Amino acid sequence: MSAPITDFSSYLRDVPDFPKPGITFKDITPLLNQAEVFTAAIDQIAEQVRHLRPTHFAAIESRGFLFGGGLCERLGAGFVPLRKPGKLPWKTYSESYQLEYGQDSLEIHVDAAAPGDRVVIIDDLLATGGTAAAAVNLVRRTGAEVVAAAFVVELDFLDGRSKLHGFEIHSLVRVSD
Ligand code: AMP
């Protein structure tokens, strides 16, 4: 059996000036593309939050979905989709948040979680934290508790953590510059 993967950074690809000039996009497709790496990433996130006994993973569209399903399967939790406006078919709560230029929104089904539920937010990447903070607000509006937020990559220099309070924050790779 090969040694467990402890450093996922070599499976991320920096794409300069994508989707616009000045942004270095952290492409996770190399990590997704290799079965043992993808599995190890989901396994490690699962172990980081297992002790919190999550009842649900609330995954942010769209790259959060890639990890949410596997995490639910490993920890016996339910899946909560957090989607872009107009995608969810039932009654929703909506939260807007600030992007670098302009605004965006996320939605949750009003009955996707409830008081007593222990929810972990999952996304591929934490940058400024606006998206994750909106996700936290949505989950809390259902009455559920947010017990953690977990990411594959965290851009430390944007300090997204400072927007997230009251629960554990985990990331597999922290990028310092
Ligand atoms: P933020 O709201 O600034 O924390 O941005 C986080 C969201 O935008 C996540 O859903 C990411 O998928 C995406 N994102 C932001 N910056 C990047 C980046 N440099 N590389 C890849 N995805 C990013």
Q: Is the CB of 120 under 6 A from ligand 1?
A: no
Q: Is the CB of 126 under 6 A from ligand 1?
A: yes
- Whether 127 and 160 have beta carbons less than 8 Å apart is answered as yes
Ligand 1 centroid to residue 153 C-alpha, Å: 9
User: Cα separations (Å) of 149 from 16, 73, 116?
Assistant: 27, 18, 17
Burial level of 173, CB count in 10 A (0-12/13-18/19+)? buried
* Candidates 3.20.20.70, 3.40.1190.20, 3.30.200.20, 3.40.50.2020; CATH matching 9-175: 3.40.50.2020
**Residue 37, Cα to own-chain centre: how many angstroms?**
18
Nearest alpha carbon, ligand 1 atom 5: 127
Q: Is the CB of 60 under 6 A from ligand 1?
A: yes
Of 129, 123, 153, which is closest to residue 59 (Cα–Cα)? 123
Q: Is the CB of 171 under 6 A from ligand 1?
A: no
Ligand 1 centroid to residue 127 C-alpha, Å: 5
Res 1: pLDDT: 58
Alpha-carbon Rg for the chain, nearest whole angstrom, is: 16
Task: Tokens 């936290």: give the residue.
Answer: 136
User: Cα separations (Å) of 104 from 48, 56, 70, 107, 122?
Assistant: 29, 24, 27, 11, 18
Q: Is the CB of 131 under 6 A from ligand 1?
A: yes
Q: Is the CB of 106 under 6 A from ligand 1?
A: no
Where along the chain do its domains lie? 9-175
Q: What are the mean pLDDT values of the chain's consecutive 10-residue runs (177 residues total)?
A: 86 96 95 98 98 99 98 98 98 93 93 98 97 98 99 97 98 95
Q: Strand (E) positions, 36-102?
A: 56-60, 78-82, 92-98
| DSSP code, position 19 | S
Res 3: pLDDT: 81
Atom of ligand 1 nearest to the CA of 127: 4
* Residue to mutate, 131, 136, 153, ligand 1, most ligand atoms under 8 Å from C-beta: 131
HSE on the CB side for 106, CA within 13 Å?
26
User: Cα separations (Å) of 31 from 28, 44, 83?
Assistant: 5, 13, 23
- CA-CA distance, 163 to 128, in Å (whole number)? 8
